[in-house]
Structure 1
Amino acid sequence: MTIATLFALYVSSGLGVGQMSMLKETIGETRTSETFRTIKKIVGITLTVEAIGVLGYYLSWGHMFDDNGTRLFYSVFHAVSAFCNAGFSVFSNSLADEANVLNYGVNITTMFLIVIGGLGFTTFWELIKGNPERKIRTWQFSLHTRIVLIATVVLIVGGTVAFLALEWDGVLAGYATSDKVLISMFQSITTRTAGFNTVDIGSLGVSTVLVFLGLMVIGASPASTAGGMKTTTVSVMLIAVWSTITGKNKVEFAKRTIAKDTVLTAMSVFVLVAACLFIFTFALTLTENLPFMDLLFEEFSAFATVGLSRGITPALTDAGKGIIILSMFIGRVGIVTLALAFAKSRKSTKYTYPTESVIVA
């Protein structure tokens, strides 16, 4: 979308009002007038952060390569892959080989790139410049940024602690305590749609796999390079549930009221994602004769565009691979975007039907 818009900007007279409005929603901008400026910021942030990543990798791999050209190529490739949450590695075993698994420079650089890419461009820019909604730029962040930061920290810390506790005597056995913490934090971060690994995913226990399923389906944040259901979607759903439990008639957080449309959109995303995961996993059980937990992991990983696998991908039938391909496509395009593309437009009405209660619990 960014590249297409820049192309339209420089080779034509610009975009129409409808196209600008759609693009504004896509990149997470609240003001149409700021759309093109935001897109230019996206390009600048991407190149700058990836350049920092290249430097980090280049310095970390000084002992591995005799040829500086190869070393630079590996650095550039992994910097782009990590920032874009792609998870592709030039190494045959991702980053799980002996030279990388405990290389602090490689681990920290990768985690830095994944987190920055997953925060979302609007959030990252607000961290740099302050809240754009205020006349005087301050670091009293917008509600969106606060939710993103809180959710990101909770998921990273929660995932790290869970992995550390569940795999202490499992895949982490034999490592020093500091190394166990590093590996656990890396896996907690990369599981949320980045797709790198420093341990054998197929050796993880069932409990750890269940934690990974949750991290994968949540994913990162809106307007980012990552996939998943998004941190804000889950956060708004949980806030809405808490508001219902506490008897509030509005969804409130941090002395702000969350718009009803936002809550309904979050609910729609949650239901549609759950339905797709159920349908595609059920389809895989019909086409594949493989362990259910492996199929479930494969589907969650594909839909959230993570790329991790428990080693069954080559064993999938053509039909199974087709299901995984479709899952990746829908997950990357976005379930709501796809639904709206096929939905019939509805004209606004000037009347309201009578309200009637329905027993739901």
Structure 2
Amino acid sequence: MTRQYSPHEPLLSFISPTTQKKVKQNSIFFNMEQDLQSIVGLPIMGGVEIDSNTLSYWLNWRVGLCALWLMIAWVVASILIWKYEGSKKSKPESRQNQQKDTVGCLYEDEAWITCLKQIHPFWLLAYRSIAFLLLLTLLIINVVLDGAGIFYFYTQWTFTLVTIYFGFATAFSIYGLYICQRTVGDHGHGPAYPSLDAERGGYVPASVKETADTPEISNGFNTHEAPHFRKTAGFWGYLFQILFQASAGAVVLTDCVFWLILYPLSGPTLNFMIVSFHSLNFVFLLGDTILNGMRFPMFRIAYFALWTLIYVIFQWIIHAVASMWWPYVIIDLSNQYAPLWYLLVGVTSVPCYSLFALLFKLKSCCLSRFFPESSYQGST
């Protein structure tokens, strides 16, 4: 069952008039859909909307195959999380063996330490604070100007996720500096974590003598040093790491799709907000990646997959309830190539996520090449 409508007709009641006007003016997503359909040979719908809230729309082989892809991705992601997440310590072990890192092990101080001992955590805090304030400001401006309807699109989901990450990151960095200062006050001799040398202006670790009476805590992951004992992360620490790695994959996917597919094909008029929402998130995450001392295990691609799956399921639920346009042609279930699009997006997600994993490897190589082994820490 179909009905005629204008390609720019607003079909969501929660999209504000301002957003509707901008959609009519820029037509980024609608033009992209028509251009993609023309290039790959899909039939252009010509202003005809197929009712998505009918049984005939959902009970067909295309939807069934797409649902199968989603189920497989969800199961694989769940298995990866179940198998690798956490320290997986099932019984008491010796104190030394307890410090052996597993792929899913996470330490509390990884959230705020820097990759080099010469870089004080304060600079990471400053960077994260600036990034959070700028991203939050842009998001608020976007909501004020365009309304809550912006969250119909994956771009805004991703941008919001990155903003939340930097909010958590700022809070963890503040907590880390508090821990450093508290350690100084408790032990009197000096901090168990590195401190800022007032005379040299550098980031100087406390000496062994200074920390002789303090708990054995290390900032680094240097396996060639004598074993140190660090506090494993709690719920919020793991949530923070998950936010970081899910954001990394989502940002690369979003920006690559826009700059490599949408913009070349549809040629939308660029403005400050469009460029910001498709570049700043990646730039800020890249800077944080360079500075932080976090790790980036590949198995946490599962959280990136779940994030994308949740967005797709969100779209399915909306379209099952009300008939409306799809924000992206690649998730539109009405065309015969929908299963191929879904499979392509799933396959493309792997290299998108792997880009940040490669950046971490590159950072580790650069640190080990240009700095002494005793200087770098964290993800290296």
If the length of structure 2 is used for normalisation, what is the TM-score?
Answer: 0.25
Larger Rg: 2
Task: Name the structure, 1 or 2, with higher relative contact order (CA <8 Å, separation 6+).
Answer: 2
